[in-house]
Amino acid sequence: MLQITLPDGSQRDYASSVTVAEVAASIGAGLAKAALAGKVDGKVVDTSFVIDKNSTLAIITAKDADGLEVIRHSTAHLLAYAVKELFPDAQVTIGPVIENGFFYDFSYKRPFTLEDLTVIEKKMATLAALDEPVVRRVLPRDEAVAYFKGMGEHYKAEIIESIPADQDVSLYREGKFEDLCRGPHVPSTGKLKHFKLMKLAGAYWRGDHKNEMLQRIYGTAWATKDELQQHLTMLEEAEKRDHRKLGRELDLFHIDDHAPGMVFWHPKGWELWQNVEQYMRQVYRNNGYKEVKGPQLLDKGLWEKTGHWDKYRENMFVTESEKREYALKPMNCPGHILIFKQGVKSYRDLPLRYGEFGQCHRNEPSGGLHGIMRVRGFTQDDGHIFCTEDQILQECVDYTALLQKVYSDFGFKNIIYKIATRPDKRIGSDESWDKAEYALMESLRASGCEFEITPGEGAFYGPKIEYTLKDAIGRQWQCGTIQVDFFMTERLDAEYVGEDGARHRPVMLHRAIVGSLERFIGILIEETAGALPTWLAPVQVKVLNITDAQAEYARSVAKTLQNQGFRVELDLRNEKITYKIREHSMQKVPYLIVIGDKEMASGAVAVRARGGQDLGVMSVDEFLQKISADVAQKSNV
């Protein structure tokens, strides 16, 4: 007798071994039809999987996260099937699931085109409509190598040859196409209905630039037609908000091949940068941080002591002078410890908070660079708090409250909180880890925050909280963090004199709120679609005259506003006022002031707010009160 325990705790008995599909059918015809896979004792398996011992079982459908992953995995294979049908000479390589979809890499004699994608997608739909069963079989490794070599699939053969010789491999067949795969897969191609091929890209075989460049086809797949359409709509909106596109249109910055992964800030972009930096600088001042500045180049010996030379060397820019090796700093923490070590520190000095707008460089692969979101040169609002173990909780409570205030000021109301706990390989005592993890959890509870735990995802030196922003179109951006570190102060021999007169190691809290300023500004641009709130906008007011007769008055109005600290530009060109209004509206300036003869005669201004809002005629003082309140409240006009 075989006993199956279902998710609701109920149990079913079977006379002998049974497949996942048979269990689903015994529960109900509807469930049998909806079943995509099963989760047996916590492992996701095909519906054809045979259960031969007492087990727990959950039937996976398209409503489950695991079900969506199975759909995407299977759709990647459907893509490869369609390509082989249309282009028999193409060789298939790998096709994994990624966020919101999948990709598959191919080797082919000519580049695929966007027109090819349309044809391939139609072929995929045709093959899916055949509702062909997806069948699994297992072969010994060497037999599988010979099988794929015989079909001319040399990439697949190479993958299998890297597997230990005594290990069997699984293959999945649908119709005429058979592929190497661990699975699981949907039971038949008819389960795959809602997909779209998205784009083409290049990718080196096995990620090595010394190997052949393959062709990568990206696609997305969803459980329902509505979910697919929602995703495509979101992508359309994301394209409109693309910070690279808006950066060009609003004349904020550009990226140049002369300095890949570095940002050239234009005057308006640098104004935006300064607005963010000066705001964060005030945050430092108001919350007990002492601003410091460390050097860019640090001796190799320091990075060896911290462990970065062994673990991070390939991502560091290295140079040499007078037979000494140096590295451009990829992070600021070692420099802050060196500053801490200058002079004797007492327990009375703790907590000691350092903050730095520290420019860092990391040798990111060129293929991973993305506008100003992922760069090689960036600046962090980096902070390090040196404290005792007993001070961790209060510092984390205060930090979370501060972070929430900052994010709210920038217009982000939705924050996701995650706590990454101790990994298997770690340093420090269990007692210290217990105290650190407890402090992080209690700090979020004290802040009224719901959080999730990601077990084992902490750094080897301590746990951390990750703060993720959710933007206007539902995308998530991991920005802020606070990490507890028992390790680096010991490696660099930092200490303080305790109340007992003995020497002690401080705990180091690594924290950043906006993280990389470049990336955060990119997020801000996309969140606001370039319509930055008045307090951040590089140009807050444009003053426009209708004819030359009002030029002098327009200058005086602009000067009055500038004297009050507002960022104002004049447009006195001899152009039609409708043309000037349209042009500056496209630049997403928060306020346009239009001056004609009537406004000049009455000493007033006609005000238009962003979005075509006509606020009417008002005195200059009235407008000053309005824009001052707008900036003070950090509202988004």
Q: Which residues are catalytic?
A: 333, 362, 380, 382, 384, 464, 510
Q: First vs last Cα of the chain: how many Å apart?
A: 69
Distant-in-sequence contacts of 39-47, Cβ < 8 A, 24+ apart: 39/66, 44/69, 44/70, 44/184, 45/20, 45/183, 45/184, 46/20, 46/134, 46/136, 46/183, 46/184, 46/185, 46/187, 47/19, 47/20, 47/21, 47/187
DSSP string covering 255-270:
--TTSTT--EE-HHHH
Task: Give the C-alpha distances (Å, rounded to integers) separating 503 from 345, 495, 506, 509.
Answer: 10, 6, 10, 19
Q: Is 80 helix (H, G, I), strand (E, B) or coil?
A: helix
The structure tokens 């079913």 sit at 12
- What residues have CB less than 8 Å from 345, skipping those under 6 apart? 352, 386, 495, 496, 497, 506
Burial class (CB in 10 A: 0-12, 13-18, 19+), 144: buried
φ and ψ at residue 407, rounded to 5 degrees: -60, -40
DSSP string covering 163-204:
S-TT-EEEEEEETTEEEE------SBGGG--EEEEEEEEEEE
Residues β-bridged to residue 607: 593, 616
Q: What share of the chain is helix, strand, coil (3-state, %, to 5)?
A: 40, 30, 30
The structure tokens 């030196």 sit at 461
Distant-in-sequence contacts of 573-576, Cβ < 8 A, 24+ apart: 574/548
Task: Give the C-alpha distances (Å, rounded to integers) separating 136 from 49, 163, 346.
Answer: 10, 19, 67
- Please check whether residue 38 is in contact with residue 45, taking contact to mean a CB–CB distance below 8 angstroms: yes
Strand order in the sheet with 541-545: 568-571, 541-545, 591-595, 604-609, 613-619
Q: Which helix (H) or strand (E) holds 290?
A: strand 289-291
φ and ψ at residue 286, rounded to 5 degrees: -80, -10
- What residues have CB less than 8 Å from 352, skipping those under 6 apart? 290, 340, 345, 385, 386, 387, 506
